[in-house]
Amino acid sequence: MAESRSRELRASYEAEGVAEHYAGGRWSGSRHARRTHRKELRQVARLLGWAAEASGGALGAVLDVPCGAGRFQPLLVASAGRVTAADVARPMVERARGSGGIPAAPPLQASAAALPFAADSFDLVFCFRLLHHFAQPAERQAVLAELARVSRRWALVSYFDAASFQAWRHRVRGRRTVRFAQSNRAFDQESAAAGFAPRRRLWVARGISEQVLALLERGS
């Protein structure tokens, strides 16, 4: 992964007040934020349910990276036998502690592009709201390849859809952005290069919102 972008991103999430905001008002401070959060939870739950069903009824070990302030921990803990959480930013890791509502292993500080786990450690790796932070295919591929290394079977990831109204509006306004949308085709190519095949895709608001969720399965 390009080191400078990686360092810049980590620093932006370690800046003072950011983890507090993410744990608090970011997802509850406005009606729009609350609605987006609810929709994201619903779509993630649907894809987890689908993966569990295809796995014979249950998911065993799940990795949540980046866990942020632990927003998805309660859902993941309810959906899997064992949940591990990791994030590159120390203040996020501290905020995520205890967010699953059960005594669990403490979240780890680690980069999604260099995870401290053996190959095939997890049944499913959950990677939400990270890939759109990278402009370069090589940066996204480094993360996808690492997810494929530590997952025995599934990855549930999000990315930003270049064919959405929000992405179009960003292009038209021409503002400098630190969030990068891509085509579904480009995403499929990048995940295929990491050894994943797409199994299910859901949108938060198809055609409008940039957020896409994809359930990927490792090829045999």
Ligand X SMILES: C[S@@+](CC[C@H](N)C(=O)[O-])C[C@H]1O[C@@H](n2cnc3c(N)ncnc32)[C@H](O)[C@@H]1O
- 8 phi/psi in degrees, rounded to 5: -65, -45
- Asked whether 81 and 87 are in contact (CB, 8 A), the reply is no
User: According to the binding rule CB under 6 A, does residue 10 interact with ligand X?
Assistant: yes
User: According to the binding rule CB under 6 A, does residue 108 interact with ligand X?
Assistant: no
Considering only CA atoms, give the Rg of the chain: 16
- 63, 75, 92, 212: which one binds ligand X (CB under 6 A): 92
Q: How many residues bind ligand X (CB under 6 A)?
A: 18
User: According to the binding rule CB under 6 A, does residue 39 interact with ligand X?
Assistant: no
Q: Which stretch binds ligand X (CB under 6 A): 8-16, 117-125, 148-156, 175-183?
A: 8-16
Query: Residue 8: CB partners within 8 Å, gap ≥ 6?
Result: none
User: According to the binding rule CB under 6 A, does residue 65 interact with ligand X?
Assistant: yes
- 60 phi/psi in degrees, rounded to 5: -85, -95
State how far the Cα of 22 lies from the Cα of 13, in Å rounded to an integer.
Answer: 9
- 23, 75, 76, 88: which one binds ligand X (CB under 6 A): 88
State how far the Cα of 144 lies from the Cα of 125, in Å rounded to an integer.
Answer: 10
User: According to the binding rule CB under 6 A, does residue 66 interact with ligand X?
Assistant: yes
- 63, 112, 144, 212: which one binds ligand X (CB under 6 A): 112
Binding site for ligand X (CB under 6 A): 6, 9-10, 13, 65-66, 68, 71, 87-89, 92, 111-113, 128-130
